[in-house]
Homo-oligomer: A and B are copies of this chain.
């Protein structure tokens, strides 16, 4: 934790006199892109986990993300990728190790999934605002869908444990559940755990005891269900959203999502957003 800096700043620059949109905080990123050696590439069903060494980077907060690329970026499907891609940190081990969970859904993730131990990840980060601690002694409840489990794994580590509900499309993806401790699993096709949506499990949990803070990450439709379920029960929820990003550090204004207070740049004012700030978690252009 040596080189680590933790700062809490209001959104002074572009929203002075506003309370932040997220309870989370950020760790500053080194100012440049750096190479992080891949130490291990491991397959979890449909997902790849890359563990890498980042000796020059600080320890990130849970919920923060990195912009990742590889050498010989480009030249894939449709002559892409060109820009780096955003990935939540999955885990932050000792000795400046970071892990990322990647699903191959297009030319950028495809290239990253090809990387082998010994090759370099090019990274900028940690970026964005992470999760904030639960308030009022509420129990943390993690709800993840697909690759959305990534930020929940490191958050579960930091919290020293938390119940986790996770949903996947099918059995190969449900292998990802192994990345969380004691997760209850739902699959669309019923091949593993509950047959149906992870939000079925969430409803059950909240109906049992709504005194929780929900931390959720996953596809837009899932997050929207989480938002509605929590709003109905006045359960606070912190949602880690996704949107298309070119830069990840506020430079391009491309990653905006609508909130009750107007557009925010998700990369600097998110990706974790208080559910209460959103009218909807359905973000245009997201989800595959």
Contacts and interface: CB of A to CB of B under 8 A. Distances in A.
Interface of A: 72-76, 79, 82
Contacts of A74: 74-76, 79
Q: Please give the count of copies of this chain that the complex contains.
A: 2
Chain A binding surface, main DSSP class = loop
Contacts of A79: 74, 82
A72 B74 CA distance: 8
A133 to B, nearest CB: 42
Given A72-B75, A74-B75, A74-B79, 8 more contacts: A72-B72, A72-B76, A73-B75, A74-B74, A74-B76, A75-B75, A75-B76, A79-B82
11 contacts: A72-B72, A72-B75, A72-B76, A73-B75, A74-B74, A74-B75, A74-B76, A74-B79, A75-B75, A75-B76, A79-B82
A260 B79 CA distance: 41
A75 B77 CA distance: 11
Nearest to A81: B75
A72 B71 CA distance: 12
A11 to B, nearest CB: 36
A180 to B, nearest CB: 34
A48 to B, nearest CB: 17
